[in-house]
Structure 1
């Protein structure tokens, strides 16, 4: 999945950089605020791709004494930086350009360049969105889209999806602004389109930031996975009761599991050790992303007490 995410990010960087150059070229010929906003949007997306690659690279660093559970959360931090970048650079500049052109509209220019660039960008962004959506659905296993986003622990998948969706909406807004502005001979609609693009980017940044915040604070496994882990533990004949079951993601594919169990009466210390070993192997077999497992026996003295002794 990491290789697929990295491939999608590289593809998005190349496409966004080319589209940004085309949009700025069109803006230079037409003076369109919407095209400037779209150029900034694509340029920000290009930079954000680089930030995600930095996060992916740093998250692969091996665990050490200062970070015994690894550096998996690096990708959560850099995804949050992407959200801030979209909000400040993308949304802020687009809103500024839009407000400026609404209060001080530029003379209308031939929109041909705008239509050509927007049409080409729509094709490329549409293809990019289709690829990102397909990879996201493959990674999350289907289900309702918003539920899948909330359950996903890999922000690179939904960050690219958010950016591509925002890009498509921004292109539609830019096209509408240019078209309506020339239809009514009022260039203020061009500025309104830029403001709309800015609001789209601000909303995208807010959604991405909210998801990254939850991952940074610390999210556990979803209820369905917890039930499956509990069932795996409970299937061992040495277990009498399962009390606490706590999980925490230290990265998209690294989970810490701690649990407190009660063993059947009469087990020897050796049998308890064998049971713990069996359970750890069973969990790792069915949940390979659970890298760290800590099983605590409640009242271990009771489990080692010979039968009948009080």
Structure 2
């Protein structure tokens, strides 16, 4: 966040010297990124609050809410402004003044963003496993890393678009190219914002555990001696690191109440051992009736 703020200041200075719309769009882009990272930090902090009577399952999903707000901010502040500024610049076709300022700041920013993007990739690889990048962004239950990944990718591509627009405007002497570069930045931000909105909306509405995790939970349940089988099961992420598990389990009709209670306790322990994020577990016993053929 601090790096993005510093880059934003540098871009604004370059804009004042060059009057380049691409530099202005990139300045707003960096300001939006800094604000988004502040929102993610705020969401993470608020999600740690203790549960209350009004919110008995806690505030873990606040992280999803703030990630969704990030998508809205990126679209309204970054994309809409850049698209408007690009169209305006195309109509005016003003010259780029003192382009060396733009080149210097853009090259510095590209180098800084490469290091930032590299860090985001390294952090994501720690939890991505064997998933493809598309699958990781689509199915990650923790919203921060996919958001930062897409933001960094967008920032890097946006800088390349800005460099392209300014370079072509200087070579041709036509400010049209500066406007085209700005328009490309706006469209890029709109695409990223829409992808983020779709993915975080799904998390905000409530997503269940991944198929692999559900298989682990089912195996843990059916491994308990008193559990004959799992009749049905539902899971729900209360937050990235907190999973609710509700299941109806079949028990033998000869089991006593003490046997059933002991079996439920053991099943809960087995679930938590297999899936540590399963922190809220509700198990309902039922008689084991053979399914009707």
After TM superposition, the score normalised by the length of structure 1 is 0.91
Kindly state the Cα deviation for residue 110 of structure 1 after the two structures are TM-superposed: 2.8
Equivalent position SS for 1:239: coil
- Equivalent of 2:56 in 57, 68, 73: 68
Kindly state the Cα deviation for residue 81 of structure 1 after the two structures are TM-superposed: 0.7
Cα distance in 2 for partners of 1:69, 1:15 equals 36
Give 2:275's aligned residue: 287
**Any gaps of 5 or more consecutive residues in structure 2?**
none
Give 2:13's aligned residue: 25
Cα distance in 2 for partners of 1:275, 1:106 equals 76
Give 1:208's aligned residue: 196
Equivalent position SS for 2:173: coil
Listed one character per residue, the Cα deviations across residues 222-251 of structure 1 (whole Å, up to 9, x for unaligned) are 111111111111111222121111000111
- Equivalent of 2:238 in 250, 258, 262: 250
Kindly state the Cα deviation for residue 72 of structure 1 after the two structures are TM-superposed: 0.4
Q: Which shows bigger deviation, 160-169 or 146-155? A: 146-155
- Equivalent of 1:155 in 140, 143, 166: 143
Cα distance in 1 for partners of 2:176, 2:129 equals 45
Give 1:228's aligned residue: 216
- Equivalent of 2:42 in 54, 59, 62: 54
Asked if the contact 2:95–2:169 (Cα under 8 Å) also holds between the matched residues in 1, the reply is no
Equivalent position SS for 2:228: strand
- Equivalent of 1:108 in 74, 96, 101: 96
Cα distance in 2 for partners of 1:142, 1:173 equals 32
Q: Tell me the number of residue pairs that the alignment of Structure 1 and Structure 2 aligns.
A: 289
Kindly state the Cα deviation for residue 157 of structure 1 after the two structures are TM-superposed: 1.1
- The CA RMSD over aligned residues, in Å, is 1.2
Give 2:122's aligned residue: 134
Cα distance in 2 for partners of 1:220, 1:171 equals 37
1:119 equivalent to 2:112? Answer no
- Equivalent of 1:39 in 27, 32, 37: 27
Kindly state the Cα deviation for residue 96 of structure 1 after the two structures are TM-superposed: 1.1
Asked if the contact 1:142–1:148 (Cα under 8 Å) also holds between the matched residues in 2, the reply is no
- Equivalent of 1:86 in 65, 74, 87: 74
1:268 equivalent to 2:248? Answer no
Equivalent position SS for 1:246: strand
Asked if the contact 2:228–2:251 (Cα under 8 Å) also holds between the matched residues in 1, the reply is yes
After TM superposition, the score normalised by the length of structure 2 is 0.96
Give 2:179's aligned residue: 191
Cα distance in 2 for partners of 1:91, 1:85 equals 9
1:239 equivalent to 2:231? Answer no
Give 2:132's aligned residue: 144
Cα distance in 1 for partners of 2:111, 2:260 equals 61
Asked if the contact 1:276–1:295 (Cα under 8 Å) also holds between the matched residues in 2, the reply is yes
Asked if the contact 2:96–2:166 (Cα under 8 Å) also holds between the matched residues in 1, the reply is no
Asked if the contact 2:94–2:174 (Cα under 8 Å) also holds between the matched residues in 1, the reply is no
Listed one character per residue, the Cα deviations across residues 109-137 of structure 1 (whole Å, up to 9, x for unaligned) are 23111111011001111111111111112
Asked if the contact 1:241–1:262 (Cα under 8 Å) also holds between the matched residues in 2, the reply is yes
